[in-house]
Amino acid sequence: MLIEELPLLSAAEAAESVATLDALRHVWLSRGERTGAFATLGCAAYLDLCGGQGTVEEYQGGAFEQNDHLRRNFGGLLEAVRARVEEATQEPTVFTEDWALPGFHIFTGAGLRPKGAAGAHFDFQFRELVGAANIGDARVVSFTLALELPEAGSGLRVWPVRPVQLHGSSSSRDGPESLTDYLDRKPSVYVRYQVGRLYLQPEPILHCIWNEQPIKPSDRRITLQGHGLEREGVLVLYW
């Protein structure tokens, strides 16, 4: 199973979380070139650390303040997510004070990409935190809780492609073929999100955000995001 869909919140509970999030707009972190089109509440390794965007110490420093906002305003929601991930994975699951807590993606209007394979990736943020050599066969998961979605729909495009198929000897890309062209011809699955559902990736798979068209200026895509990394027999949740 590429993605597990797990019921978690009612529509009313999801709307309540969004209302709390909106009340905290003054502490959102604006991301990208279009001010207000993409923001987060919470630090994220892929935005604040990976690709030379910062050091581990800078990521941890930024996470400290943002974690406080998340813990004080969404402690109950985070615990509900933790418990659901623990139930689904059958592994002890905890948060850590060392890394960013799972946080919120807020995309609005122009920040919502139309459907397409651009941005396809594996969730390998942990390599910047602990080093790839220190992972071995440790379990790696990712999860998304849908809280508000564009009117036309939104979700995830998923390819049954594992890392070795792109980076190892079994790669099937043809010569200089771009990743986008390669993915355009590969079979994929569209997972259409539903508000209140938690979507769990039990292992790293190739995926990207997929917004149905047309996108309206008033549309928003709000999700709670996070990852899990097995450390000493415990699944540590972070972002």
The domains located in the chain, with CATH, are 4-238 (2.60.120)
**Contact criterion met (CB below 8 Å) for 101 and 210:** no
Structure tokens at 74: 């969404």
* Mean pLDDT along residues 210-233: 92
Q: pLDDT tens for residues 55-75?
A: 999 999 999 999 999 999 999
Mean pLDDT of the chain: 88
Structure tokens at 210: 């997929």
pLDDT score at 148: 98
Q: pLDDT tens for residues 44-53?
A: 999 999 888 8
Q: pLDDT tens for residues 159-197?
A: 887 665 555 433 444 445 666 677 777 788 999 999 999
Residues contacting 8, CB < 8 A, separation 6+:
80, 81, 84, 145, 196, 197, 198
Give the CA count within 13 Å in the CB-facing half-sphere of 1: 11
71-75, 98-102, 111-115, 231-235: segment of lowest average pLDDT: 111-115
Structure tokens at 2: 């590429």
**Higher pLDDT, residue 59 or 110:** 59
- DSSP lists the bridge partners of residue 200 as 4, 143
Percent of the chain with pLDDT over 90: 62
Q: pLDDT tens for residues 12-38?
A: 999 999 999 999 999 999 997 655 689
Structure tokens at 141: 């998961």
Distance CA 6, CA 200 (A): 8
Q: pLDDT tens for residues 112-140?
A: 877 665 678 888 888 888 876 566 678 89
Count CB-CB contacts under 10 A for residue 112.
22
pLDDT score at 221: 97
pLDDT score at 33: 67
| Extended strands (E) in the chain | 4-7, 29-30, 38-41, 93-95, 103-108, 140-148, 154-159, 189-192, 197-201, 206-211, 220-231, 234-238
- Work out the angle at residue 75's Cα, subtended by the Cα atoms of residues 73 and 80, and round it to the nearest 5 degrees: 135
